[in-house]
Amino acid sequence: QVQLQQSGPGLVKPSQTLSLTCAISGDSVSNNNAAWTWIRQSPSRGLEWLGRTYSRSTWRTDYAVSVESRITIKPDTSKNQFSLQLNSVTPEDTAVYYCARGSSWDLNYWGQGTLVTVSS
Amino acid sequence: QSALTQPASVSGSPGQSITISCTGTSSDIGGYNFVSWYQQHPGKAPKLMIYEVNNRPSGVSNRFSGSKSGNTASLTISGLQAEDEADYYCGSYRSSDTLVVFGGGTKLTVL
């Protein structure tokens, strides 16, 4: 059974960097049939797909254009986890952030969610 | 405003069937068979209920089924149970810079 455990701060100051980590058990971040994804959810924006990283002989990433200039999603094969960094945050980035495992374009396993508030 | 359009709420009595619609465009629902449905209970992460239009993951009740016609996908829940009361979201691949889009969610109330 795949399990995803998220960690990271729940409060970030405006203009700073939001950083979250998703530890994987029951699967490998290097699995060639999986895509490791970040999504966020807020009352104002609903569910929003942010991006993903995946291995298909080489590592690849896809990002939503809405955050493309500010986002980095990276795998860490030594720790079997992946991370999200979102730069230059504003209060509009306040949301519950989820990591998830996808196969094709669906998301079949989700982390527990982390409420991140952007406030000074 | 969400990329995919869902009704804000639906309701039904135990034992009845309900259908939730999700309308998109030819760039997403209408052009690809990558429609997913998620169930979310309050304070919990979404759970995949249907993938690729009409496929159920292992462990999901066969009371849940999906379909698609043109630019509109549908989720049908038969034999409603109290535990089905939750928010339901559709999602789809989109052939644009967004790649994955979601609906705004439908709150299902079991009367």
B52: nearest CA partner in chain A: A106
Query: Which tokens hold the place of B60?
Result: 């999901």
Q: Provide the mean pLDDT of chain B.
A: 96
DSSP secondary structure of B42-55 = TTS--EEEEBTTTB
- CA distances (Å), A33 to each of A28, A54, A104, in order? 10, 8, 8
User: Is the per-residue pLDDT at B98 higher than 90?
Assistant: no
The values of phi and psi at residue B84, to 5°, are -80, -10
Predicted local confidence at residue B2, as pLDDT: 73
Query: Min CA distance, B36 vs chain A (Å)?
Result: 6
Contacting residues of B for A62, CB less than 8 Å apart: 99
Smallest Cβ–Cβ distance between A46 and the set B2, B48, B92 belongs to B2
Contact A107 B47 (CB under 8 A): no
Predicted local confidence at residue B96, as pLDDT: 79
Q: Name the percent of chain B lying above pLDDT 70.
A: 99
Query: Which tokens hold the place of B54?
Result: 């009409």
DSSP secondary structure of A91-116 = GGG-EEEEEEEEETTEEEEE---EEE
Helix (H, G, I), strand (E, B) or coil at B110: strand
Judge whether A41 and A48 are in contact, CB under 8 Å: yes
Contacting residues of B for A46, CB less than 8 Å apart: 2, 89, 102-105
Contact A110 B47 (CB under 8 A): yes
Chain A residues at the B interface, defined by Cβ less than 8 Å, are: 46-49, 62, 64-66, 68, 98, 104-108, 110-113
DSSP secondary structure of chain A = --EEEEE--SEE-TTS-EEEEEEEESS-TT-TT-EEEEEEEETTTEEEEEEEEEEESEEEEEE-TTTTTTEEEEEETTTTEEEEEE-S--GGG-EEEEEEEEETTEEEEE---EEEEE--
The values of phi and psi at residue A116, to 5°, are -115, 120
B104: nearest CA partner in chain A: A46
User: Is the per-residue pLDDT at B97 higher than 80?
Assistant: no
Parallel, antiparallel or unpaired: strands A11-12 and A114-118: parallel
Contact B38 A98 (CB under 8 A): no
Predicted local confidence at residue A109, as pLDDT: 96
Contacting residues of B for A106, CB less than 8 Å apart: 34, 36, 48, 51-52, 91
pLDDT by residue, tens only, chain A of 120 residues: 999 999 999 999 999 999 999 999 999 999 999 999 999 999 989 999 999 999 998 999 999 999 999 999 999 999 999 999 999 999 999 999 999 999 889 999 999 999 999 999
Smallest Cβ–Cβ distance between B102 and the set A47, A98, A110 belongs to A47
DSSP-assigned letter for residue B30: T
What is the 3-state secondary structure of B60-98? CCCCEEEEEECCEEEEEECCCCHHHCEEEEEEEECCCCC
**Amino acid identity, position B16:** Q
- CA distances (Å), B61 to each of A32, A103, B39, B81, in order? 28, 20, 12, 11
pLDDT in tens, B50-69: 999 999 999 999 999 999 99
